[in-house]
Amino acid sequence: MRIAIRGLIFDYGNVLCEPQRVSDLQTMARILQMSKETFEPIYWSYRVSYDASKMTAREYWEQVASDAHRTLQEEDITALRKLDVDSWSLPSPVMINFAERSRKAGLRTAVLSNMPMDLRLSVANWLPQFDHSTYSCDVGMCKPDPAIYRHCLDGLATAANETLFLDDRPENVRAARELGIQSILFTTAAEAGAMIGRDFSLPVAIEC
């Protein structure tokens, strides 16, 4: 028997938007005069603090540069901030469409995402309307902290067992399941659509 769903929670990165392009990472790495392979681990090292607003954009990029033994000029920081936002601003048409149709069909919808303020301010210009949004930069905590899921559930006003969460990171999915939230590890829209059709009852389907 399929589980009836009243609420949908979407991760942003790699779910509502497409993955970062290799070329974007390479361009950021070139500004710091390093290879993509050297740059990428440093880029992620401080991301949780940055996403939770524990670091400003300037502090984040200066720390990345410091780890790489580089010094940034003002124009470098400006360029890196823009490139970073642009790299996470490629909408996934299929998933955006699914989110819009789900809300129109009567489901409660929310975004639950780890993202820095620069990106948060940018995506507000094009994301569809949701009933609730929980962004790490606004609440000062990140997935997989249980508190951020509770914050989202409270705003969505649906019970955990009637809410479906889509996220591309296994640790985030595990944390949601531990709170009783129905959860799918997102890989592709087609695979998510197949799992939803098999296990859950929703008024709309993902249309690939």
Kindly report the CATH number assigned to the domain that includes residue 153.
3.40.50.1000
> Percent of the chain scored above 70 by pLDDT?
100
Looking at the fold, whether 194 and 125 belong to one and the same domain comes out as yes
Residue type, 184: I
User: By three-state DSSP, how is residue 105 classified?
Assistant: coil
Q: What is the pLDDT of residues 107-117, one digit of tens each?
A: 999 999 999 99
Task: Indicate whether 9 and 110 sit together in one domain.
Answer: yes
- Which of residues 87, 103, 133 is at a domain's end? 87
128 pLDDT exceeds 90? yes
List, for residues 138-147, the tens digit of each pLDDT value: 999 999 999 9
List pLDDT tens digits, range 11-23. 999 999 999 999 9
Q: pLDDT grade, residue 1 (50/70/90)?
A: confident
| Averaged pLDDT for residues 162-182 | 98
Indicate if 100 and 158 belong to the same structural domain: yes
Q: Is residue 95 part of a domain?
A: yes
Check whether residue 101 and residue 131 sit in a common domain.
Answer: yes
**Residue that the structure tokens 């009567």 belong to:** 106
pLDDT at 49 over 90: yes
What's the confidence (pLDDT) of residue 204?
A: 97
Structure confidence by residue, pLDDT tens digits, 55-86: 999 999 999 999 999 999 999 999 999 999 99
Same domain for 44 and 137, yes or no, is no
Q: Are residues 26 and 72 in the same domain?
A: yes
Asked whether residue 206 is assigned to any structural domain, the reply reads no
Q: Indicate the number of domains in the chain.
A: 2
Query: Tell me, what amino acid is at 87?
Result: S
**Together in a domain, 193 and 129:** yes
Q: For residues 87 and 21, is the Cβ–Cβ distance under 8 A?
A: yes
- Looking at the domain assignment, is residue 55 inside a domain? yes
Residue 167: the pLDDT is 98
Task: Name the amino acid, one letter, at 42.
Answer: I
Q: 177 and 96, same structural domain?
A: yes
* Residue-range definition of the domain harbouring residue 28: 22-87
pLDDT at 102: 98
Q: What pLDDT does residue 88 have?
A: 97
What is the residue-averaged pLDDT of the chain? Answer: 97
Does residue 196 share a domain with residue 96? yes
Q: Which of 87, 115, 137 is the last residue of a domain?
A: 87
- Is 207 inside any structural domain? no
| Residue 187, burial from CB neighbour count under 10 angstroms (0-12, 13-18, 19+) | exposed
Lookup result for tokens 């595990």: 174
**In this structure, are 95 and 189 located in the same domain?**
yes
Same domain, 10 and 27: no
> Taking Cα atoms as reference points, which of 54, 59, 63 lies closest to residue 142?
54
Residues 11, 111: one domain?
yes
Gyration radius from the chain CA atoms: 18
- What's the rounded mean pLDDT across residues 146-173? 98
pTM: 0.96
